[in-house]
Structure 1
Amino acid sequence: MKDDSSSATLADSLRSELNRFSEGEKLPSSRTLVERFGVSPVTVTRALAALAAEGLVVTRPGSGTYRARTGAVRAARPVDTSWQQVALTAEDQHAEPAPRVVDASAITATLAAPPPGVIPFNGGYLHASLQPERALAAALARAARRPGAWDRPPLEGLTPLRAWFAREAGGPAGTIGPAQVLVTAGGQSALTTALHALAPPGSPVLVESPTYPGALAVARAAGLRPVPVPVDEDGVRPELLADAFAATGARVFFCQPLFQNPTGAVLAPGRRREILAIAHAAGAFVIEDDFARRLGHGGPLPPPLVADDPHGTVVHVSSLTKPTSPSLRVGAIIARGPVMERLRAIQVVDSFFVPRPLQEATLELVGAPAWPRHLRAVAAGLAERRDAMLAALHHELPALAPARAPAGGYQLWLRLPDGADEAALAGAALRSGVAVAAGRPYFAAEAPAPYVRVSFADTAGTSEITEGVHRLAAACAETGITAVT
């Protein structure tokens, strides 16, 4: 078999050999298949994805590929999503219409490049030194040479890429496959599609408090009414979520269970099923923004909520932009039941489809041996920068240093003293040569206290972080914020 052999041909070969393996037995590694058949890693990835989509094999990230147990596949029952027919059509006839407010200021504040010489503690993307520039260039070059690379793709996305996102999400065998995945133009596009699909104009949408300002901007631009639900160090508080559903009749809850932006909180194990049960009892959807799954600092991660969802409650949003490059705008929505048809229709109306060359390049990237090495490098680089920022804060501004170090993500959430003017601090910091994000835009309603968010993702390294915190300390002194406990 030559290098230009198709993944379909390889899948046929592997399909004919599956009877040689017992149910549950591990298949040869991807590297072995590459060497044996003389094909690229991407071809192997696509062939295995096709077999997984047929339920013939099960791929376990970090472990390998196994022949599926037929009994287990048959035991996977279809999820009962009949409740979605009510949730997708219910509207609060007594709710006052919410004005459409199109305000991108909170988003542009993080997207705008600071002036020359200013240290960017306000960024949300990886520094160029952490981006896989060579791997991206190689992936784009290989994708451009692929036959049909410039043809129109399926509206829902390339099947092998959808299968990859499905495998990454995990879940019981047979419950999440390519049919439950819609490829999107990044996480922000996915979030916009989800909110437009799930909530009619004028309706309430529950959000964590504080939360990602981009979600608030999308909701308000769609004429929705964001209702805050407080979080603590273990994520959203279930009792307050239940109260909010009861008080508002909301049908949507937006959350970030892993390395929440801006607090860095991880939803505690004991709260996961409780949150899903509360939402299901309310006949509501949970939009899970899993933006930081590939931004861990090392160590095991909990599975996404969608992997534990027995009712089709979770609409899962993920993206490859954060761990790669701002310009690799490829993400996915995972959903089960009739809601997927609405999600697909809204994306088609808004943007038709994600360009095929970008999807092909993404497949080349995540299927290459360099991909896991890149993720390890990102984990190490973010952990090193986090530790440097925490050390500098403890030295320069111990009163602001957080008590718990985040295990992933790229930011720290700093509580300022009562009465502090966070906007004045952000202005003083910029004059001192460091850009930070004021906390007010992260709240859907009045903020309970002043905060600033400082990010370490877009920094060149530890020395720049140390200097940035030193400049922030000067800004604190200028605005009268104490540096000691």
Structure 2
Amino acid sequence: MSELAEELRRELDRYSPGGKLPSSRALVERFRVSPVTVSRALAQLSAEGLVITRPGAGAFRARPRATETAAGDTSWQEVALSADGAAELVPRTVDASGVTVSLAAPPPGVLEFNGGYLHPSLQPERAMAAALARAGRRPGAWGRPPLEGLPELREWFARGIGGAVTAAEVLIAAGGQAALATALRALAQPGAPVLVESPTYPGMLALARAAGLRPAPVPVDAEGVRPDLLADAFRASGARVFVCQPLFQNPTGAVLAPARRAEVLRIAREAGAFVVEDDFVRRLVHADAGPLPRPLAADDPDGVVVHVGSLTKATSPSFRVSALAARGPVLERLRAIQVVDSFFVPRPLQEAALELVGAPAWPRHLRTIAGELQARRTAMTSALALHLPELALPHVPSGGYHLWLRLPDGADESALAAAALRAGVALTPGRPYFSAEPPAAHVRLSFAAVAGTGEITEGVRRLRAACDEVL
């Protein structure tokens, strides 16, 4: 579609403003594409204001826009926004750079080792489309849903968490990022410290800082967060919140060791603190992984854990359906903040989620991506061992979609990222994953956002050229 839109864009100068373009049938025959492709290309040009489509009449070149008025003066906002944080202990600065690096599409021809979602070929597009179509025909699908979410969807998430968690303790949210934002706002006041794993997900650090919180790092090793250092951090900081990813942690891929699970909950309980469990990739387990540990929330009768789980990573970045689970008075606070912020998750999307996870295609999809992710991980680790042995890989995860690599001492990860982009591969520098000074330079490489193992092998070859340039 993009190629056809570009070709039509170049040909617009042949037509005077208001002039009629060739018919859709003529474009289909000329470019040997489907009617759907022609329709989408014209819709793209219409969205850009270059053409006007009139049902039954055809497509016409748009007339030039009238000269736009002079831009307004928004410089006053610099004073207003800085004054807003003058009285706060921690100004609510918002830095989205650590998030946008995994959301922005790379330039054409650049391989995407920095992506945070499944490649379209791995997404269940047909199953999602069918689920959306069926959802739209459900009785009441376009009405207002319960504020907490559809009961059947809450029950499905509760069963997935396990233990004694019930549907009454689950809220449906609009994706994991929104659920984390709600949890942080509910559990900590502006200016308060919040304990975070180090390294950790940059999007969570951005959320915390935007809420005026002070992230305090707790180191992670191959077995997850270290309980001794977690206890020290609670005592030193007085924090009442700890955010963690016990399963396939981002970026290290670590899984919290069985012996540490109860210890983490005990330490938090004794500190009078909550644990926010970001269970973001439970459905991206690899085919060679053993049995997964239950979520921390399943072993927590005391309401210490606020659990966040999502469908997004296993489906599509636009399928933003997640769950918040909590026990006790905090549940009402979470509910109130979510209602004030966004009212509710649109009912058609909730109905589509129910249709998707209840369809026979859903378990087949999970089995497919389990095998694909294992194959991609193996391809990347093998290529790295062959072409880049100087990059240390301390842990090979059996779930998730990325690898965490330590660079040689003295290496400049920003320079490497720039050289890699010039060589045709986009990667993620490690610095945004640390809330304080990092102990060494790192990069994160994703193997899920590319088209297949061939692109992984080629991407590592290009990375070798970048390393030769700067290391």
TM-score band by shorter chain is: 0.7 to 0.9
Matched, 1:162 2:154: yes
Match of 1:203 in 2: 192
Secondary structure of 1:301's match? coil
Q: Name the aligned partner's letter for residue 129 of structure 1.
A: S
Match of 1:288 in 2: 277
Match of 1:217 in 2: 206
Work out the CA distance in 1 between the residues paired with 2:266 and 2:125: 42
Alignment of 1:438-457 (within 5 A): 438-457=429-448
- Whether contact under 8 Å (1:394, 1:401) holds in the other structure is no
Aligned residue pairs, count: 383
Matches within 5 A, 1:24-43: none
4+ residue runs over 6 A deviation? none
The separation in 2 between residues aligned to 1:401 and 1:133, in whole angstroms, is 36
Provide the rounded CA distance (Å) in 1 between the counterparts of 2:88 and 2:294.
Answer: 38
Q: For the residues of structure 1 that align with 2:467 and 2:166, how far apart are their CA atoms? A: 51
Q: Equivalent residue for 1:79?
A: none
Write the letter of the residue equivalent to 1:268. Answer: A
Question: In the alignment, which residue of structure 2 is the partner of 1:18?
Answer: none
Q: Deviations over 1:28-85 (max 9, x none)?
A: xxxxxxxxxxxxxxxxxxxxxxxxxxxxxxxxxxxxxxxxxxxxxxxxxxxxxxxxxx
CA shift at 1:96, angstroms? 8.0
- List runs of 5+ in structure 1 lacking aligned partners: 1-94, 481-485
Measure, in 2, the Cα distance between the counterparts of 1:106 and 1:450: 16
> Does the CA-based 8 Å contact 2:252-2:395 persist in structure 1?
no
User: Counterpart of 2:49?
Assistant: none
Partner Cα separation in structure 1 for residue 197 and residue 394 of structure 2 = 21
* Other-structure match for 2:387: 396
Q: Which amino acid aligns with 2:440?
A: A
Taking the TM superposition and a 5 Å limit, the aligned residue runs for 1:93-104 are 97-104=89-96
CA distance in 2, matches of 1:252, 1:403: 29
Structure 1 residue aligned with 2:126, among 121, 125, 134? 134
Aligned amino acid, residue 151 of structure 1: G
For residues 383-406 of structure 1, what are the alpha-carbon distances to aligned partners after superposition, in whole Å with 9 as ceiling and x for unaligned?
010000000000000121414321
Alignment of 1:369-408 (within 5 A): 369-408=360-399
In the alignment, which of 243, 246, 263 is matched to residue 274 of structure 1? 263
- Verify the 8 A CA contact 1:155 1:348 in the aligned structure 2: yes
Aligned pairs for 1:469-480 (under 5 A) are 469-480=460-471
Aligned residue in 2 for 1:229: 218
* Alpha-carbon distance in 2 for matches of 1:401, 1:97: 39
Shift of 1:97: 1.2
Distance 2:296 2:252 in 1: 19
1:19-98 equivalence runs, <5 A: 97-98=89-90
What CA distance in whole angstroms lies between the structure 1 residues aligned with 2:394 and 2:170?
38
- TM-aligned CA distance change 1:201 to 1:403, over 3 Å: closer
Counterpart selection for 2:424 from 421, 433, 440: 433
8 Å Cα contact 2:254/2:395 also seen in 1: no
CA shift at 1:109, angstroms? 1.0
Percent sequence identity is 74
Distance 1:96 1:108 in 2: 27
CA RMSD of aligned residues (A): 1.0
Match of 2:457 in 1: 466
Match status 1:151 vs 2:140: no
Does the 8 A contact of 1:390 with 1:401 survive in 2?
Answer: no
Quote the offset at 1:153 in angstroms.
0.1
Q: Which amino acid aligns with 2:240?
A: R
Q: What residue is the counterpart of 1:367 in the other structure?
A: 358
Query: What is the aligned counterpart of 1:424 among 412, 415, 424?
Result: 415
What does the per-residue CA deviation read over 1:155-209, in whole Å, with 9 as the maximum and x for residues that have no partner? 00000000000000011xxx21111000000000000000000000000000000
Matched, 1:250 2:242: no
Letter in 2 for 1:301: L
**Paired residues of 1:149 and 1:360 also in contact (CA < 8 A):** yes
Q: Per the alignment, in what secondary structure is the counterpart of residue 444 of structure 2?
A: strand
- Distance in 2, matches of 1:403 and 1:160, equals 42
Q: Give the TM-score normalised by the residue count of structure 2.
A: 0.81
Q: Secondary structure at the match of 2:448?
A: coil
**What code does the residue aligned with 1:132 have?**
P
Aligned pairs (5 A) from 1:9-28 = none
CA contact (8 A) 2:273 2:304 kept: yes
Which amino acid is 1:346 matched to? I
CA distance in 2, matches of 1:206, 1:260: 15
Return the alpha-carbon distance in structure 2 between the equivalents of residues 185 and 138 of structure 1.
21
Q: Which amino acid aligns with 1:279?
A: A
Letter in 2 for 1:362: A
Superimposed CA distance per residue, residues 334-361 of structure 1 (whole angstroms, 9 cap, x where no aligned partner):
0000000000000011100000000000
Tell me by how many angstroms 1:310 deviates: 2.4
Partner of 2:251: 262
Distance 1:182 1:270 in 2: 30
Assess if the C-alpha contact under 8 Å between 1:191 and 1:215 holds in 2.
Answer: yes
Q: Distance in 2 between matches of 1:402 and 1:105?
A: 25
Determine the C-alpha separation between the residues in 2 that align with 1:206 and 1:411: 24
Distance 2:235 2:411 in 1: 35
Aligned match for 1:238, one of 227, 230, 249 = 227
Query: Quick one: distance in 1 between partners of 2:365 and 2:190?
Result: 42
TM-score by length of 1: 0.78
1:179 aligns with 2:168: yes
Over residues 429-458 of structure 1, what are the superposed CA-to-partner deviations in whole Å (9 max), with x where a residue is unaligned? 000000000000000001110000000010
User: What secondary structure, in the 3-state scheme, does the structure 1 residue paired with 2:372 have?
Assistant: helix
Kept in 2: contact 1:437–1:453 (CA 8 A)? yes
Q: What residue identity is the alignment partner of 1:159?
A: P
Distance (Å, rounded) in 1 between the aligned partners of 2:454 and 2:365: 23
